[in-house]
Structure 1
């Protein structure tokens, strides 16, 4: 078995590695470090959590140990897709380069330009940056890339997902053609392969695992979930997450809960905190100081549950994460590998559980095709539980909007029938004796009413005749209906008069 001492590293670097507690390199380190020390380009393909960071940090420090940086002209460049990953690379550099006099600068968003400019002006050996902030400094005239000897692109597939490929191509064009390039990725999409063919020269290809494969030390499972009602989906899904966490018991020492959307990150974190879980959110919209504070609390064990978007799927290196919960099925199958790679690191056991709704089944099928195996199904604890009470299903954030009052329009027919103002109710409430009294009226009263009716009919008939004299229709014509045109009635009048 290969040892770090056999890889021709600088003795001071070896001493730092031993002090960090490492003796045997991982497969990607054993495969990438020797050609990197020879000055060759390297294309490394390995799943997350296999030690890719050290596989380029250690040879970089060895190569840069000789020489000195000039102002505004860094000697090496490391590009990372996220602030968290860039910060992690910087931490690794501090660990392995503590016995070597090398300087570094970290260029990420959320930090003052003034502080970063001051470091660049002094001259740095290693520049670790996200693409956007690096180009900001370059366009402001504060940075020159013509002195870059070693260039590293880490998590290239994540760069592709985040839309950084045009920036990467531009940065490549700003560096010398004679540079050495170390290119690392967990997957090799066609676009990434095109870049490697363009900017890498006869690279040493180091592939230690099948593309996008999950670690064998991670136990996987999925709960197929369907809400009882569409407007209760969010509430029931959050309750299912709590039941899954409770079902793991003491085995769940800490966990990362991944959501697809930033709004869901905030909602899930708030819901878990309401029910007594020690949880905090992290996503790209938060201030860098808050993100750093949250990550530090999670690393140190002060925070048990980290609710994250995919910004934390890459570069978050917490060796002892016991569980990963995918609250949402990731939209890209490759992201699933990176998410669950936060657990089961460095040979440890881990567990990854996912909630799959009917709308997510297409993305779930893509994940199983990528893994080339079925993810075991887990019984839905929510379906086995008793119907939730009102208190159990209430959250600070409701999924359904409150229904507006419609006033009388929303009343049922039965309610209208019971309303005193309706005619039907009046007829039903009328006493039967009143109807009998009408039948007992004297004959004279009936005759009087008959005379009045006759007089009324004659009056109406006279009105009809007067309308006929003015050219109106004759209602004595039978069979034509009320809709008969007046000119037809007039012709009948003339024929009868003749």
Structure 2
């Protein structure tokens, strides 16, 4: 079915064609005509199916007729994260370039004054996260009485982040005869209750079984030892495979994101990071670097796991097995998008067994284990070019080259009975070197030459 059969305007079809799309995805083909007929919609679709365009395209044509008024947006799209909100805004700019629609983005990390100025001019489309929208509403900077079209996107993610009470409050501020579109990858009971309360005779469109994974994604479990050093070593071997061109690596903690990115860069990889402690401008800048190819590896926390549509991601790595099985579906959905194929690796230690069991129960499939992992040579423990096999440090106790071993003065013999000798425990304890797996996996900045004489003398033992 071509896009022309969906009932969209010529201007919109022109913009879609210039974007390189010729046929709608299943969720788009099923949703667009019903939205144009002003039906309420419950859309259940896995990530990467073109869900965003399924509501953006008909909204552009619906809003093409009418005028906006100051502080009274004509439509509202609620997104759980800043990144998703920014992505929806990009879709409106791309597909609505032949329409004269005004748009405002209400997200945290951006000056509130600029957002208020945009609202005062009047907007056709308001894209917002619930927290910032509620903040402006309570300050009296926005009215929702003229908002006749509401989109609740990623509803199950809204539930996970605790936004359902805010969404219920927002719904009560909108006209009761509005059109409401709700999209979610899964339909847990609280989301079903929300839909029953605020949607009127909705049409349910489901293009894939809830929580199913994309069949275009090849999945692997990679058994590893629990130490972070060993996991990083295995990850580097996987990253060096020829078919890994661009990759997103997910960690469970923000500190792990920072540490892993630092380690990868020290080994010569072109990597960047994105997590919740970064301000909005820094996160957008890092995403732009990834999209432009300035970096080809992005280390991320789950703040980036849902909804980001970045073309050409060849591989997804779960450096940490996700705590919540739903997050696994959304993480690996960053690859294999729009009909392309992709690969997802999950590094699994013994303590991850329960998490993997929950993931396999949710998706209804057994994930195969990767038996052979690409080897990483030991010299890769330092940055590329910093240390080679020829410049590897000599053993610590080795004598200077071309010199005879230094003679040590004879020690007086202690013939006293054992009981009269000083206890060994009375001597100051020798400091043991740090264990390798607990050390930072960065460049080795220690001594890289033969041992000085004064150290040789101090290391002499009984």
For the residue of structure 1 that corresponds to 2:183, the secondary structure is strand
- Whether the 8 Å CA contact 2:326–2:359 is kept in 1: the answer is yes
Matches for 1:32-47 after TM superposition, within 5 Å: 32-47=31-46
TM-score (norm 2): 0.82
For the residue of structure 1 that corresponds to 2:345, the secondary structure is strand
Bigger Rg over Cα:
1
- Whether the 8 Å CA contact 1:104–1:126 is kept in 2: the answer is yes
Deviations 1:66-110 (A, max 9, x none): 100110000000000111110000000011111111100011111
For 2:418 and 2:372, locate their aligned partners in 1 and report how far apart those are by CA, in whole Å: 53
For the residue of structure 1 that corresponds to 2:316, the secondary structure is strand
Partner residue, 1:79: 78
Partner residue, 1:210: 209
User: Does residue 330 of the first structure (1) align with residue 330 of the second (2)?
Assistant: no
User: Does residue 280 of the first structure (1) align with residue 272 of the second (2)?
Assistant: yes
Deviates more, 1:264-273 or 1:15-24: 15-24
Deviations 1:375-431 (A, max 9, x none): 11002538x778x689569xxxxxxxxxxxxxxxxxxxxxxxx9969752658xxxx
For the residue of structure 1 that corresponds to 2:338, the secondary structure is helix
Partner residue, 1:403: none
1:419–1:238 Cα change, 3 Å: farther
For the residue of structure 1 that corresponds to 2:59, the secondary structure is helix
Partner residue, 1:489: none
- Whether the 8 Å CA contact 1:224–1:380 is kept in 2: the answer is no
Partner residue, 1:61: 60
- Whether the 8 Å CA contact 2:267–2:382 is kept in 1: the answer is no
Q: Higher helix proportion, which one?
A: 1
For 2:382 and 2:338, locate their aligned partners in 1 and report how far apart those are by CA, in whole Å: 39
1:422–1:301 Cα change, 3 Å: farther
Partner residue, 1:317: 309
TM-score (norm 1): 0.76
Partner residue, 2:398: none
Partner residue, 2:435: none
Partner residue, 2:140: 141
Partner residue, 2:163: 164
Task: Return 5+ residue gaps in structure 1 as ranges.
Answer: 228-232, 394-417, 428-498
For 2:17 and 2:46, locate their aligned partners in 1 and report how far apart those are by CA, in whole Å: 24
Instruction: Find 2:367's aligned residue among 375, 399, 403.
Output: 375
Deviates more, 1:124-133 or 1:161-170: 161-170
Instruction: Find 1:244's aligned residue among 217, 238, 252.
Output: 238
For 2:73 and 2:118, locate their aligned partners in 1 and report how far apart those are by CA, in whole Å: 11
Partner residue, 1:474: none
For the residue of structure 2 that corresponds to 1:377, the secondary structure is coil
1:111–1:419 Cα change, 3 Å: farther
For 1:391 and 1:72, locate their aligned partners in 2 and report how far apart those are by CA, in whole Å: 57
- Whether the 8 Å CA contact 2:80–2:130 is kept in 1: the answer is yes
Deviations 1:129-171 (A, max 9, x none): 1111111111111001111110001111111111111111111
For 1:18 and 1:65, locate their aligned partners in 2 and report how far apart those are by CA, in whole Å: 19
For 1:23 and 1:391, locate their aligned partners in 2 and report how far apart those are by CA, in whole Å: 48
User: Does residue 362 of the first structure (1) align with residue 361 of the second (2)?
Assistant: no
Partner residue, 2:284: 292
Task: Return 5+ residue gaps in structure 2 as ranges.
Answer: 384-411, 422-462
- Whether the 8 Å CA contact 1:86–1:315 is kept in 2: the answer is no
| 1:250 Cα offset (Å) | 2.2
- Whether the 8 Å CA contact 2:324–2:355 is kept in 1: the answer is yes
| 1:43 Cα offset (Å) | 0.4
Deviations 1:169-194 (A, max 9, x none): 11111111111001001111111111
Instruction: Find 1:266's aligned residue among 258, 263, 267.
Output: 258
For the residue of structure 2 that corresponds to 1:151, the secondary structure is strand
For the residue of structure 2 that corresponds to 1:93, the secondary structure is helix
For the residue of structure 2 that corresponds to 1:220, the secondary structure is strand
For 1:250 and 1:421, locate their aligned partners in 2 and report how far apart those are by CA, in whole Å: 68
Partner residue, 2:20: 21
- Whether the 8 Å CA contact 2:267–2:380 is kept in 1: the answer is no
For the residue of structure 2 that corresponds to 1:251, the secondary structure is coil
For 1:29 and 1:288, locate their aligned partners in 2 and report how far apart those are by CA, in whole Å: 30
Deviations 1:267-318 (A, max 9, x none): 1111111111111110111011110110001011111110000111112111
| 1:363 Cα offset (Å) | 1.0
User: Does residue 151 of the first structure (1) align with residue 146 of the second (2)?
Assistant: no
For the residue of structure 2 that corresponds to 1:226, the secondary structure is coil
For the residue of structure 2 that corresponds to 1:72, the secondary structure is coil
Deviations 1:44-72 (A, max 9, x none): 01110100011000111111111001100
Partner residue, 1:457: none
- Whether the 8 Å CA contact 1:420–1:426 is kept in 2: the answer is no
Partner residue, 1:304: 296
For 1:224 and 1:123, locate their aligned partners in 2 and report how far apart those are by CA, in whole Å: 55
- Whether the 8 Å CA contact 2:72–2:144 is kept in 1: the answer is yes
- Whether the 8 Å CA contact 1:225–1:380 is kept in 2: the answer is no
1:89–1:420 Cα change, 3 Å: farther
For the residue of structure 2 that corresponds to 1:241, the secondary structure is helix
